[in-house]
Amino acid sequence: MKSKLTGKNVLITAGAQGIGEAITKHFIDSGANVAIHYFSSVETADQLTEYAIRKGQKAIAIGGDLTKEADANALVEKAVEAFGGLDTLINNAGSLVARKMLNEMEAEFWHRVMDINLTSMMFVTRAAAPYLAKNDNSSIVNLASLAGRKGGHPGSLVYSTSKGAILTFTRALASELGPQGTRVNAVAPGLILGTSFHNTHTTQESAENTIAGIPIQRAGNADDVARAVLYLASEYDGFITGATLDINGGVYNI
């Protein structure tokens, strides 16, 4: 895989925390140049940038609120300016924000979560697509979720809906961008412990109950997801597109 990624130019949204940080680290270790988007994790973004540069690779940390169209466009432009092109886009940014049931749902909250998880992904992908098209082979990997398959736990109605939409967004993009040489796939992680997401939104009791129903009897970790993302991204001349790889220990499969 390293030979396929060496020298490739990769943009990772929310690439300095949780699963995104692991993804960035794996790309760096595989020889890629990385543009690391961050919203608040500037220190980690800078550390990852320094790590890549020490290994002789190009790296840049770029802040921005991707729910703002101008910030999303600027992110892509800065990445391309730094590297001279773009081979891969990893759409990792997203959040549950808070748990709210239908009977306490405000329109503002609904739109906020949709914008963070879905609209931002569209903005960045739209900006990146013309640059990806300049390569004979390029790739996009979108971060969905097991919640998009099953509906999630109580209080994750908006999050689950947005992640389910990402599954369809991925299939539609694969069809639309295939002729330009861009493959588009997704990963759908299940319970991934050790990240700020689950540290914030998942109780220990809920995690234990979920783990009890996982056939391999453990939760996932960020590296489990990162390895899958790298595989899908690295098969530049591959035949996999429009697919979603489920990473959940076998608790859900179709």
Catalytic residues, which ones? 159
Tokens of 155: 């209080």
Q: How many CB atoms lie within 10 A of CB 208?
A: 10
Tokens of 141: 């990997």
Tokens of 217: 């009897």
